[in-house]
Amino acid sequence: MAKQYDVIVIGAGPGGMTAALYASRANLSVLMLDRGIYGGQMNNTAAIENYPGFSSVMGPDLAEDMYKGSTQFGAEYAYGSVESVEDHGATKVVTTDTETYETKAVVIATGSEYRKLGVPGEETYGGRGVSYCAVCDGAFFKGREVIVVGGGDSAVEEGLYLTQLASKVTVIHRRDQLRAQKVIQDRAFANEKMNFVWNSNVEEILGDDKKVTGVKVKNNQTGEETTIDASGVFIYVGILPKTEQFTNLGITDKTGWIEANDHMETKVPGIFAIGDVRVKDLRQITTAVGDGGIAGQQVFKYIESLADNGAAVK
Ligand code: FAD
Ligand code: NAP
């Protein structure tokens, strides 16, 4: 028989953990499922300086503290890569790679994943100099020169983190202006280990039979092609929603992000979406946490309304 819960939260990043905290504190039975370690993208972040209560905190440390808080009222956490969610009205069926669950409500908090650059050499040198996580792999490049591709918050902030390890960090951006927040830009321009190559696209990641040796770059204004030597290439060119398992529910927009209202309700009653996976302007830990609090409360109201209507999990 399928295991039963009042609420299943899919994804244990900051959004999911907060939803689990609120729902379990409202005395609902809650299961958080994650296909990785709890903490989500916070585990890939070095110093977080914009989460209230901390002047600066390491991402994995904040993840650990949030996890302790989110499970203190009885919410359970389990490994599970969710493969599908079926809507049967008052009952939803959540299937993972190993289990099937029945639940009254589902909170989708699966976040986003990095976008690939899609150039020759990216796959070949994955794990051999090409990385998407400075916190995870930066230490391999101590005293060496590295390249960061992208111009957003992730590229510039993680580039700054890499200056503590690498001898030189070269940011290659396709425009002549960064997208990153001004405070991060100012810090980057003031750091003597940071260098910028503007109006340029990485055409290929170069290497020998073992590892990355550099990149081939083309200036998109002049057409000039150059080679920049480096031992590592960190790619931060944006994010994509992790929603392919939910397309059957008809809750995503044409680019795959989930549409939810101010109550975090999707168009399917009993299915909520929070955090980065939603269509929203500001994808941050604070906004994921805010969404999670709202969803935890709304799930409670939704389940009360089911009880009022005499429905029960079958
Ligand atoms: P996520 O943190 O992405 O968590 C989603 C979870 O869902 C993951 O654990 C994943 O394993 C799980 N999951 C996905 N699919 C499935 C599935 N099918 N089955 C089971 N589990 C699944 N924000 C800030 O406020 N400050 C910062 O300094 C900051 N730095 C950042 C640095 C980088 C490099 C990046 C990439 C982002 C940064 N952000 C920062 C943004 C912030 O990390 C995100 O906005 C936030 O983590 C979103 O939380 P979330 O709970 O929505 O999703
Ligand atoms: P992003 O904001 O979408 O920035 C992606 C960057 O990559 C942009 O500069 C973009 O260039 C560039 N890019 C996109 N496709 C490219 C391609 N094919 N080739 C070359 N360059 C390409 O993504 P992000 O920086 O990963 O940030 C994701 C979210 O997390 C954002 O909401 C961000 O605010 C948040 N975040 C916050 C913090 C923080 O608060 N400290 C830190 C990290 C991330 P253009 O500028 O020309 O479009």
What ranges in 193-284 are assigned the alpha helix state H?
A: none
> What is the distance between the alpha carbons of residues 240 and 199, in angstroms, rounded to a whole number?
23
Do the domain assignments include residue 31?
Answer: yes
> What is the distance between the alpha carbons of residues 169 and 123, in angstroms, rounded to a whole number?
22
Q: Is 291 noted as a catalytic residue in this protein? A: no
120's CB contacts (< 8 A; 6+ apart) are 203, 204, 205
Residue nearest ligand 2's atom 36 by CA: 153
Residue nearest ligand 2's atom 29 by CA: 283
- Given 192, 208, 235, the domain boundary residue is 235
Regarding whether 140 and 168 lie in a shared domain, the answer is yes
Q: Is 97 noted as a catalytic residue in this protein? A: no
- Given 213, 235, 257, the domain boundary residue is 235
* End-to-end Cα, the chain, rounded Å: 11
CATH code for the domain in which residue 197 is found:
3.50.50.60
Report whether 235 contacts 172 (CB < 8 A).
no
Do the domain assignments include residue 36?
Answer: yes
Regarding whether 213 and 169 lie in a shared domain, the answer is yes
Nearest to 180 by CA among 196, 158, 156, 159: 156
Q: Counting atoms of ligand 2 from 1, which one is nearest the CA of 157?
A: 42
Regarding whether 158 and 195 lie in a shared domain, the answer is yes
CA angle (126, 132, 135) in 5-degree steps: 120
Regarding whether 189 and 107 lie in a shared domain, the answer is no
Do the domain assignments include residue 119?
Answer: no
> What is the distance between the alpha carbons of residues 42 and 152, in angstroms, rounded to a whole number?
17
Q: Which amino acid is at 24?
A: S
Do the domain assignments include residue 314?
Answer: no
Both tokens of residue 23? 């729902």
Q: Is 262 noted as a catalytic residue in this protein? A: no
HSE-CB of 282 using CA atoms within 13 angstroms: 10
Regarding whether 100 and 21 lie in a shared domain, the answer is yes
Report whether 272 contacts 108 (CB < 8 A).
yes
User: Cβ(290) to ligand 2 under 6 A?
Assistant: no
Over its C-alpha atoms, the chain yields an Rg (Å, rounded) of 22
pLDDT attached to residue 311: 59
Do the domain assignments include residue 82?
Answer: yes
Q: How many residues does the chain have?
A: 314
Q: Are strands 91-96 and 100-108 parallel, antiparallel or unpaired?
A: antiparallel
> What is the distance between the alpha carbons of residues 67 and 77, in angstroms, rounded to a whole number?
9
Do the domain assignments include residue 274?
Answer: yes
Regarding whether 220 and 142 lie in a shared domain, the answer is yes
Regarding whether 243 and 229 lie in a shared domain, the answer is no
Q: Counting atoms of ligand 1 from 1, which one is nearest the CA of 36?
A: 11
User: Cβ(106) to ligand 1 under 6 A?
Assistant: no
User: Cβ(145) to ligand 2 under 6 A?
Assistant: no
pTM: 0.88
Please list the pLDDT of the chain residue by residue as tens digits (314 residues): 889 999 999 999 999 999 999 999 999 999 999 999 999 999 988 788 899 999 999 999 999 999 999 999 999 999 999 999 999 999 999 999 999 999 999 999 999 999 999 999 999 999 899 999 998 889 999 999 999 999 999 999 999 999 999 999 999 999 999 999 999 999 999 999 999 999 999 999 999 999 999 999 999 999 999 999 999 999 999 999 999 999 999 999 999 999 999 999 999 999 999 999 999 988 999 999 999 999 999 999 999 999 877 654 44
Do the domain assignments include residue 120?
Answer: no
Nearest to 32 by CA among 72, 87, 61: 72
pLDDT attached to residue 310: 67
Regarding whether 65 and 11 lie in a shared domain, the answer is yes
Regarding whether 303 and 168 lie in a shared domain, the answer is no
- Given 194, 212, 235, the domain boundary residue is 235
> What is the distance between the alpha carbons of residues 313 and 206, in angstroms, rounded to a whole number?
56
pLDDT attached to residue 313: 45
Strand partners, 30: 7
Q: What range does the domain containing 140 cover?
A: 130-235
Regarding whether 80 and 7 lie in a shared domain, the answer is yes
> Longest C-alpha distance within the chain, in Å?
70
Number of domains in the chain: 2
